[in-house]
Amino acid sequence: MQQRKIEIAVGVFILLGLAAMAFLALQVSGLSLNAAKRDTYRISASFNNVAGLTARAQVQVAGVQVGHVTGIHIDPLTVRAVVDMAIDEEVDYLTSDSIASIKTAGVLGEQYISIAPGAEPDILGEGGVIYDTQSAMVLEDLIGKFMNSLGNKP
C-alpha cells in the first residue's frame, strides 16, 4: 500500500515535469504543433541594407502579419542582402511589382518587413522575387546627413 502511494506520487511528479515542459514549449516559446501543416510559399527580396533585421521577423501587409523571415544571406555577386520569407498560402494577392520595405516598430522597436502590393496582374508564387525594395532606415546615416547639411550652411 505504501509502495503504491509512492509510485502514484512519482507518477504525478513526472507528469508535472512533462506538463511544465509542454507549457514552456507551447505557451512560452510559441512552438506550434501544427506549424508544419500550415502551408506557406517562399519569396525573396534583396536589399541594400537590412540593418538589424533577423530571422523570424514579421512580414506584414497593411500592418497585418502574413508571414515571417526565414533567413538572410548575402548574394556574393551583387553584395546585397537577400531576405527569404515564408508567406501564408492564403495570401495570394502579392503582385510581382509589390514594394517590400524594412520598417521599425517604434523608435527602438524591432525591424519587420512591410509589403505593399502593386497593380500588376502577375501574382508572386513559390520562389517569387520582389525587385522593388526599400532598405532599412539607419538612424546614424540620417543623423550624419543632418549634421552635414547643418555644416554646409554658409
Partner 1 sequence: MLEFLRQLGSSGMQVAATFGRAGILCWQALWGLPDWRAGPGLLVRQVYFVGVYSLIIIIVSGTLIGMVLALQGYTVLVRFGAEAALGQFVSLTLLRELGPVVAALLFVGRAGSAVTAEIGLMKATDQLAAMEMIGVDPMKRIIRPRLWAGIICMPVLAQVFNMVAIWGAVAVGVNWLGVDAGSFWSNMQQVVEFREDVLNGVIKAFAFGVVITWIAVFEGYDAEPTSEGISTATTRTVVYSSLAVLAMDFLLTAVMFGVH
Residues that bind partner 1 (CB under 8 A): 3, 6-7, 9-10, 12-14, 16-17, 19-21, 23-25, 27-31, 56, 108
Task: Identify which of residues 44 and 58 has a Cβ nearer to partner 1 in the complex.
Answer: 58
CB of residue 115 vs partner 1: minimum separation in angstroms? 19
Give min distance, CB of 34 to partner 1, in A. Answer: 15
Smaller CB separation from partner 1, 23 or 146: 23
Shorter beta-carbon distance to partner 1: residue 19 or 74: 19
Minimum CB separation of residue 65 from partner 1 in Å reads 10
Residue whose grid cell is 518587413:
113
Whether 128 and 40 have beta carbons less than 8 Å apart is answered as no
Sequence length of the chain is 154
For the CB of residue 63, give the shortest distance to partner 1 in the complex, in Å. 15
43: closest CA among 89, 101, 99, 84?
84
In this complex, which beta carbon is closest to partner 1, that of residue 113 or of residue 130?
A: 113
Kindly give the pairing relationship between strand 40-47 and strand 128-130.
parallel
Write the CA distances from 150 to 145, 146, 147, 153, 154, integer angstroms: 9, 6, 5, 6, 9
Phi, psi of 70 (to 5 degrees): -100, -25
